[in-house]
Structure 1
Amino acid sequence: MSCASDSTGLYNCRDFPSLFALPGYIQASRALMIASIVFGTFGLVATLVGMQCSKIGGENYVLKGRIAAVGGVFFLLQGICTMIAVSWYAANITQEFFNQFYSGTKYEIGEGLYIGWASATLAICGGTCLLLACKGTATDNKVPYPYQPSSRNHVLSVMAPSQSVPSNYGRNAYV
């Protein structure tokens, strides 16, 4: 029971609602937000493992790219779950607010919903960027960088002397 008293000493008691007595859309929104947290955690771990600067996984950059792409998929799933949960909850709040025959407590859209929409949008954008950045390219299409500067301000050639470096600059052009 949840009881309250007023200034005259009268007690008003009502049954305390259980978490399982909540409406179905609130329970579904909670489940979607828990799934969103799990997807975000998996996405964060996969992205950290898949980064090229990470020592986990060795020097296999193809595998690291695929792991980072899986992290992008997890971030997309996180954003979609969050967007569905927040939008569904906001739609029900709006529907109850404008219903003249609804006798329960009428809530309004608050800051939490705006934060949810912003975080869902950022998660979807981040997952999309991560997927697009990790798209597979064949190693034949990669052009090796022909020169690598050393610490003594000399330029060392990585290519064999018989190969010519295609360039738009003359011999006296400096960068």
Structure 2
Amino acid sequence: MDAIVEVVALILGFLGWVMVGVAIPNRYWKVSTVDGNVITTSTLYENLWMSCATDSTGVSNCRDFPSLLALSGYIQASRALMIASVVLGTFGLVATLVGMQCSKAGGDNYVLKGRIAGIGGVFFILQGMCTMVSVSWYAFNITQDFFNPLYPGTKYELGEGLYIGWCSGTLAICGGICLLFACKFDTEEKAPYPYNPARGTVYSGAASRRDAASTYSRNAYV
């Protein structure tokens, strides 16, 4: 396993995991649009957990969503996917740290360590996919309402929280792919060829056995 690729993959996965933690509490997943408004007295913005408003004086007021079951289905699904992303990223970091060559946690069995690091790469890819699905689904609903001329409610635009989520998913997937390409899943190591000190040559399997048999047969007549 290439140690440099391991370190790069670990850094990418860690950054993706940190950015998931930044994106989840970020309040600006969607922000009310100013398109078509002559006078804007307040700005509305929401995330997965609360809805906020900022007036012209800069005072902000936030309220948590009162009921989980009363929320839209895509918000509930986005919450679950983002939480799953954090959990998968944690497993990926632990598996990668154990499976790295420079780590002593897995002993000296580099084949086993490579497999553990490969599992960490799979966890990173799953983390990135959960994050990408969550933020993309949320963004799809925002754009669907924005371009719907018959939508009666407040129209929103994409907030910075979604862009952080997209960056997080991209980093996690890249880190997982790097780990998978760096891992060697060899099941066994090749045994060295026997060395014949009398001739100074190396023989493999059947050839060495034939040479030994002929030597013993000649010695029997001495």
Is the shorter-chain TM-score for this pair beyond 0.5, marking a shared fold? yes
- 1:24 aligned partner: 73
Q: Which amino acid aligns with 1:54?
A: S
Runs of 5+ consecutive residues of structure 1 not aligned to the other structure: 1-15, 143-159, 165-175
- 1:4 aligned partner: none
Question: Which among 122, 125, 132 is matched to residue 181 of structure 2?
Answer: 132
Contact 2:146 2:155 in 1 (8 A): yes
Question: Which among 91, 101, 104 is matched to residue 140 of structure 2?
Answer: 91
Counterpart Cα distance in 1 of 2:90 and 2:82: 12
Deviations 1:62-92 (A, max 9, x none): 1111000000000010011111111111011
Question: How many residue pairs end up in the alignment?
Answer: 131
Classify the secondary structure of the residue corresponding to 1:99: coil
Kindly indicate whether structure 1 or structure 2 has the higher relative contact order, using CA contacts under 8 Å at least 6 residues apart.
Answer: 2
Classify the secondary structure of the residue corresponding to 1:71: helix
Give 4+ residue runs of structure 1 displaced > 3 Å after superposition: none
Aligned-residue CA RMSD (Å) = 2.2
1:114 is displaced (CA, Å) by: 1.0
- Percent identical: 75
Counting only pairs closer than 5 Å after superposition, residues 89-168 of structure 1 correspond to structure 2 as: 89-137=138-186, 139-140=189-190, 162=200
Classify the secondary structure of the residue corresponding to 2:134: helix
Q: Which amino acid aligns with 2:137?
A: W
Counterpart Cα distance in 1 of 2:125 and 2:81: 14
Counterpart Cα distance in 1 of 2:105 and 2:201: 36
Counterpart Cα distance in 2 of 1:106 and 1:69: 44
Deviations 1:84-119 (A, max 9, x none): 111111011000111122222322101111111111
Question: Which among 47, 60, 72 is matched to residue 109 of structure 2?
Answer: 60
Counterpart Cα distance in 1 of 2:145 and 2:135: 16
**TM-score normalised by length of structure 1:** 0.68
**TM-score normalised by length of structure 2:** 0.55
Deviations 1:2-37 (A, max 9, x none): xxxxxxxxxxxxxx7423311000100110111111
